[in-house]
């Protein structure tokens, strides 16, 4: 496979981004991939990951990039809060979760912050969203709030409080699910006063 048009179509079918390993698996010769890079048709966005320069970057480009580099990662905490539009703050890094003991990824761009969860907590409250033709795992609104409460000693409580207030103002509230996840995480008691104060 060496036609520029054919290779470009492969990128387009995958939302404009393609990993080197996947391109090779699909029959793209490394020489052709590098030629397209040198010609400016594609550009490296992270190690082993290229994007079509003609396709504008979406607002979720960083989340997609991290997912393509780390398919098992779960977008969490501040990054998930921003995705759910429960904060006005713009994250400067992508927060991702892995089960304790898992391999820690190395990604130069975009910057990431890795958080470790128990396998049980990481199984709960995770949604799959299709962004730029890629499946991205992201914690639910309720799970994100519970996690922010759990991590408030490290991250501060501002994000949690802002997120909870915006959550309370919305129509997609699932209070029983929020309580269930808080109980599973062992913070049902401490979080209840916040919930009662904002959601009552």
Mean pLDDT of 135-151: 97
CA distances from 22 to 6, 26, 166, 175 (A): 15, 6, 40, 41
C-beta neighbour count of 174 within 10 angstroms: 13
Read off the tokens for 191. 């979080």
Considering the domain architecture, whether residues 92 and 174 belong to the same structural domain is answered as yes
Say yes or no: 41 and 94 in one domain: no
Handedness of CA 149, 150, 151, 153 (dihedral sign): positive
User: How much of the chain exceeds pLDDT 70, in percent?
Assistant: 98
Q: Do 15 and 112 lie in a common domain?
A: no
Nearest to 192 by CA among 181, 179, 180: 179
Is the domain of 115 the same as that of 26? no
Q: Which residue has the higher pLDDT, 102 or 72?
A: 72
**Alpha-carbon distance values, 44 to 13, 20, 49, 158 (Å):** 18, 10, 6, 35
Number of domains in the chain: 2
Q: For strand 42-46 and strand 112-117, is the pairing parallel, antiparallel, or unpaired?
A: unpaired
Token output for 89? 């703050």
Per-residue pLDDT for 150 more than 80? yes
pTM (2 d.p.): 0.78
Residues 26 and 116 in one domain: no
Neighbours of 186 (CB within 10 A): 10
68 plus 26 within the same structural domain: no
Q: Give the other-Cβ count within 10 Å of 131's Cβ.
A: 18
Given a cut of 70, whether residue 167 has pLDDT beyond it is: yes
| Mean of the per-residue pLDDT values of the chain | 89
Same domain, 38 and 71: no
How remote is the C-alpha of 188 from its chain's centroid? 26
31 and 111 belong to one structural domain = no
Are residues 24 and 81 located together in one domain of the fold? no
Q: Is the pLDDT of residue 163 over 80?
A: yes
The verdict on 124 and 142 lying in the same domain is: yes
40 C-beta neighbours (distance < 10 Å), count: 9
User: Same domain, yes or no, for 93 and 177?
Assistant: yes
Between 169 and 15, residue with greater pLDDT? 169
Tell me the residue range of the domain where 185 lies.
Answer: 61-199
Residue 1 has pLDDT above 60, yes or no: no
- Reported as a single tens digit per residue, the pLDDT across 78-125 is 999 999 999 999 889 999 999 887 777 778 788 999 999 998 999 999
pLDDT at residue 12 is higher than 70:
yes
86 Cβ contact partners less than 8 Å away, ≥ 6 residues apart: 141, 144, 145, 162, 163, 166, 167
Residue 88 shares a structural domain with residue 130:
yes
């Amino acid at each position: 496979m060496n036609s520029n048009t054919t290779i470009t179509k492969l990128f387009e079918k995958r939302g404009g981004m393609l990993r080197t390993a996947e391109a090779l698996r699909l029959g793209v010769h490394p020489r052709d991939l590098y030629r397209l890079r040198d010609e400016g048709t594609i550009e490296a966005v992270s190690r082993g990951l290229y994007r079509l320069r003609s396709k504008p970057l979406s607002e979720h480009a960083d989340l997609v990039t991290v997912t393509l580099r780390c398919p098992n990662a779960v977008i969490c905490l501040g990054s998930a809060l921003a995705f759910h539009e429960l904060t006005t703050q713009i994250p400067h890094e992508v927060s991702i979760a892995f089960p304790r003991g898992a391999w820690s990824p190395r990604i130069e761009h975009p910057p990431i912050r890795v958080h470790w969860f128990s396998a049980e907590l990481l199984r709960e409250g995770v949604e799959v969203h299709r962004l730029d033709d890629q499946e991205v795992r992201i914690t639910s609104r309720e799970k994100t709030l519970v996690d922010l409460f759990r991590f408030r000693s490290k991250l501060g409580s501002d994000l949690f409080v802002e997120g909870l207030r915006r959550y309370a103002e919305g129509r997609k509230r699932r209070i029983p699910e929020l309580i269930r996840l808080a109980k599973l995480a062992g913070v049902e008691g401490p979080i209840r006063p916040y919930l009662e104060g904002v959601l009552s």
